[in-house]
Amino acid sequence: MNHMERADAKFIEQATDDSQCQTAVEWLTKTRRYAFWYATFAAVFFLFMALSDGFGDHNLSKHEIISLILLGFVSLAAGAQLMKLDSDLRLLNLVEKLKK
C-alpha cells in the first residue's frame, strides 16, 4: 500500500468514526488557520521581494533570481496545502451533517 492509499484509508476511517471525525475537524480547523497565515505571508513576502528589486537601478543577481524562484515555489506549495486542508475540512463537515 503506497502513501496515498494509506492517507485515503486514514481519512475514510476518520470520516466514519464519530470521535475521530470531531477530533479531525478541530485539528483541521486550527491547522487551516495557520496555513492561511503562512500562505498569505509567503505570497506577500514574494511580491515584496519581486517588486522591490524590480524597480531598482541594478539588475537582479543570480542569487536573487534563485531566491525569488524558490520563494515563489514555497508560496505556491503553501497555497496548495491550504486548499487541501480546506477541502478536507469541508468534506468532513459534510459527512457530519449527513450523519445527522
* Domain ranges across the chain: 19-99
CA distance 69 to 46: 9
70 pLDDT above the threshold of 90: yes
- Cα–Cα distances in angstroms (integers) from residue 52 to residues 38, 39, 48, 73, in the given order: 21, 20, 6, 19
In sequence order, what are the residues at sequence separation of 6 or more whose Cβ sits closer than 8 angstroms to the Cβ of residue 39? 75, 78, 79, 81, 82
Model pTM above 0.75: yes
- Residue 78's pLDDT is 94
| Per-residue pLDDT tens digits for 5-54 | 888 888 888 888 888 888 888 999 999 999 999 999 999 998 888 887 65
* 9: number of Cβ within 10 Å: 11
- Residue 56's pLDDT is 64
Residue type, 5: E
